[in-house]
Structure 1
Amino acid sequence: MPGTGIRMQRVSYSVGGREILRDFDLTLEKGVDRTILGVSGAGKTTILKLLLGLMPADSGSISIDGVEISELPEARLREVRRPIAVVFQGGALFDSMTVGENVGYRLLEEGKRSEQEIERVVLEKLGFVGLEDAIDLYPAELSGGMKKRVAIARALAADPDYIFFDEPTTGLDPIGVFNICDLMRRLQQQGKTTLTVTHDLHTAFQVSQRFSFLHESRLVFEGTKEELLAADLEVLQEFLTPSERSLFRFTGWVGADHETK
């Protein structure tokens, strides 16, 4: 049943006795770009990992274009999640590979295209992010913003329908933030559907139409930007406009690490 989007229904997940998600629902329809908001440590990155089948949920249902993924063997799971690409927070580039090799890595691994065809795709995607001249550089020679643009080019190489962005603008200067947001909007104009996890409201409002807010393992808000700003929910209002009342109250679980952002 293709084209039905990505869904989580009543998903729960715990690690080390700590509840990360409880009865969590999420719908990502094609053409509707969404951001998951929440403080650091809320579990946003965990959601992406569950959607990719990188770890199993304790309960609930997760489906990609109508296919439930929880019981799939690894080979079938790889096939089902092929329409999805991920841009990780740090770019997650291979340090020992050039920019060009990083972008073409997935295509080379699949073994379905000639080296000439892969090179053409690599140049095309690097051109899209404005980095064709960096094709022979190594990640250590790139700025943080350039690494994220290379990661976007790598995600695009496999022509996905959905692209997940994990904190896409964290650590970037204002020009870098502008560039990444512009690239994300251009991807959306090309028909890519994006799911972003971030605590950066500026980025979220630039790139999404729908918003989910995660607090204390549960979905406490879902709606548009206008509905988000008007929501009568204390924890959400403190997130949107922190005050002295926010001090040390809504800063995530003490001890949370990058695995459960």
Structure 2
Amino acid sequence: MTSSNSIRMEKVCYSVGGRKILEDFDFCLERGVNRTILGVSGAGKTTILKLLLGLLEPQAGRVFIGDQCITGLPESRYVELRKRIAIVFQGGALFDSMTVGENVGYRLFEEGRLSIGEIERIVLEKLQFVGVEQALDLYPSELSGGMKKRVAIARALAANPDYIFFDEPTTGLDPIGVYNICHLMQRLQAGGTTTLMVTHDLATAFVTSDRFTFLHKARQVFEGTEAEMKASALPEVQEFLQPTDRSLFVLHAEKERKTTWNAATR
């Protein structure tokens, strides 16, 4: 793959309050290669998505969309590049005061390049793709958690992006909801959309992704296929895949660290 067909990070460093989130982090998302980023809570997975979207600025290193380095790029020059990417946030992030249809068409209305009729056609098409066209005139408060996630996917699709990022897309969903999200991701991939997901849901990850990146202590410690990951000799990877009694202490330490961190940042 050439650089114009990828999104990548080179030697990226990012810290918050002196705590290293990412250190000399290299990452590449190639077009057509669907990837999942894995790691324990607080490992920096969602931070990576925000850095790739330009919502955060690295303290060191560079981020590229295709051939263009976006690090330090003025917002006015980044707008067009960002249109290649859409994100489905963990909670859906729908606007409560807008109907489902208005939510899905929001970005298109803001751009002002299409007629109202064309936008309405696209909105209905995307809602039909995710199977919630009947919710067109409903408000987010009237939807189930699974329906909110599907509407959020429809909104992401409306701008016809090359890449869609998913932040914990199956969190809080029942098995049917999880199945629906996995099915939709596979349909997107079959249609040529490249997906990048961060999740704790290994079953979803293995069903929807080709390659996997594993974070540990601010660094990428593994990159490879499902088979390579399951065969990895790294204790951090194996503990994540098959927790043992040792995990009780790992989780306890993580909880203590979060409590201390939250208290320090109040």
TM-score interval (norm. to shorter): over 0.9
Q: What is the letter of the counterpart of residue 76 of structure 1?
A: R
Identity rate of aligned residues, in percent?
Answer: 68
* Corresponding position of 1:116: 117
SS in 2 for 1:100: helix
State the shift of 1:199 in Å: 1.2
> Could you tell me whether the CA contact under 8 Å between 2:100 and 2:135 is conserved in 1?
yes
* Corresponding position of 2:85: 84
Alpha-carbon deviations, 1:169-190, whole Å to 9, x = none? 0110000000000000000000
- How many pairs align? 257
> Could you tell me whether the CA contact under 8 Å between 2:57 and 2:72 is conserved in 1?
no
* Corresponding position of 2:191: 190
Distance 2:105 2:135 in 1: 14
1:1-261 equivalences under 5 Å are 3-250=4-251, 252=254, 253-255=257-259
Alpha-carbon deviations, 1:81-120, whole Å to 9, x = none? 1100000000000000000000000000011001100000
State the shift of 1:121 in Å: 0.2
> Could you tell me whether the CA contact under 8 Å between 1:235 and 1:250 is conserved in 2?
no
Going from structure 1 to structure 2, the CA distance change for 1:2 and 1:22 (only over 3 Å counts) comes to closer
Structure 1 unaligned segments of length 5 or more: list them. none
Alpha-carbon deviations, 1:34-55, whole Å to 9, x = none? 0000111111000000001111
Runs of 4+ in 1 over 2 A off after TM superposition: 1-4, 250-257
Distance 1:179 1:72 in 2: 38
> Could you tell me whether the CA contact under 8 Å between 2:146 and 2:173 is conserved in 1?
yes
Give the root-mean-square deviation of aligned CA atoms.
1.3
State the shift of 1:71 in Å: 2.0
Structure 2 unaligned segments of length 5 or more: list them. none
Distance 2:194 2:59 in 1: 27
| TM-score of the two chains, using structure 2 as the length reference | 0.94
Distance 1:69 1:75 in 2: 11
Q: What is the letter of the counterpart of residue 248 of structure 1?
A: F
SS in 1 for 2:258: coil
Distance 1:46 1:119 in 2: 34
| TM-score of the two chains, using structure 1 as the length reference | 0.96
State the shift of 1:245 in Å: 1.2
SS in 1 for 2:154: helix
Higher relative contact order (CA 8 A, sep 6+): 1
> Could you tell me whether the CA contact under 8 Å between 1:32 and 1:210 is conserved in 2?
yes
State the shift of 1:80 in Å: 1.2
> Could you tell me whether the CA contact under 8 Å between 2:90 and 2:168 is conserved in 1?
yes
Q: What is the letter of the counterpart of residue 12 of structure 2?
A: V
Higher helix content, 1 or 2: 2
State the shift of 1:128 in Å: 0.1
